[in-house]
Amino acid sequence: MKLKLPAGSFRAWLFDCDGTIADSMPLHYIAWKTALAEWNCEFDEKLFYSWGGKPVREIVAALNGMHGLNMPVEAVAERKEGLYLEQLPQLKAIPEVLEIIEAQHGRIPFAVVSGSRRNSVIGSLTTLGLLDKFDTIVAAEDYKNAKPAPDAFLLAAARLGVAPEDCLVFEDTDLGIQAATAAGMASVLVPFIMHRS
């Protein structure tokens, strides 16, 4: 199954990492389940996927609110990230996105725009052998307002020196597509079905 790209000539491509470049969402979910089990906290798989793109610390805080818990946000976030990094040897790229990156690399600048922390993004891209393909990485530490706010994508465009309307975004979540639209950028939804083909 090939990704259908919108018409137009784009001067930069911006990629989400988890679930878009890296088929990492199942590994992130295992890390969440393990970290949260230590606090007897449930995290429904459907909810996990609907929150794709939400920063780790925001997820812990939201789960605290939902379940009336008082998990230490920083400690749980660190534990979850550590559990994810331990699983990196199992990580695979999403073939259709990898194909596009390989075909277009060097022709236009690429950025990764993620709701994950920089160490997680670098870990994923290094494992996949793709780190050197990207001109910049915008990670959770780099902006205040997470997706669906446009901040992360606008920052990536500014770093690449490309106008927002000249950027094409690759995303796997509704939050990410909303953020791209809010930034005035065209987008391509990477369907979840691709991760399982």
All domains of the chain in start order, with CATH: 12-23+92-196 (3.40.50.1000), 25-88 (1.10.150)
Question: Does the annotation mark 151 as catalytic?
Answer: no
Q: pLDDT at position 197, please?
A: 38
pTM of the complete model: 0.90
Averaged pLDDT for residues 144-157: 96
Averaged pLDDT for residues 86-106: 95
Q: Is 82 helix (H, G, I), strand (E, B) or coil?
A: helix
In the predicted structure, residue 29 carries a pLDDT above the cut 60: yes
Averaged pLDDT for residues 28-34: 97
Residue 83's pLDDT band, with cuts at 50, 70 and 90, is very high
- What is the DSSP code string of 145-183? SPTTSSHHHHHHHHHHT--GGGEEEEESSHHHHHHHHHT
Say which residue the tokens 């990898």 belong to.
98
* Annotated catalytic residue within 16, 18, 151, 172: 16
Q: Looking at the DSSP assignment, which residues form a beta bridge with residue 95?
A: none
Structure tokens, 139: 């990670």
Within the chain, where are the H helices? 25-37, 45-50, 56-67, 73-86, 95-104, 118-127, 151-160, 174-182
Q: pLDDT at position 193, please?
A: 56
Residue 194's pLDDT band, with cuts at 50, 70 and 90, is very low
In the predicted structure, residue 126 carries a pLDDT above the cut 90: yes
Q: Give whole-number Cα distances, 91 to 86, 113, 143, 149, 167, in Å.
A: 10, 19, 26, 28, 27
Averaged pLDDT for residues 29-56: 94
In the predicted structure, residue 196 carries a pLDDT above the cut 60: no
Which amino acid is located at 15 in the chain?
F
29-43, 48-62, 125-139: the lowest-pLDDT one: 48-62
Q: Give whole-number Cα distances, 86 to 90, 91, 119, 120, in Å.
A: 9, 10, 12, 11
- Cα–Cα distance measured from residue 195 to residue 28, given in angstroms and rounded to the nearest whole number: 14
Averaged pLDDT for residues 4-29: 94
Evaluate whether 13 touches 110 at the Cβ level (below 8 Å).
yes
- Cα–Cα distance measured from residue 79 to residue 30, given in angstroms and rounded to the nearest whole number: 12
Averaged pLDDT for residues 59-68: 97
In the predicted structure, residue 49 carries a pLDDT above the cut 80: yes
Residue 195's pLDDT band, with cuts at 50, 70 and 90, is very low
Residue 192's pLDDT band, with cuts at 50, 70 and 90, is confident
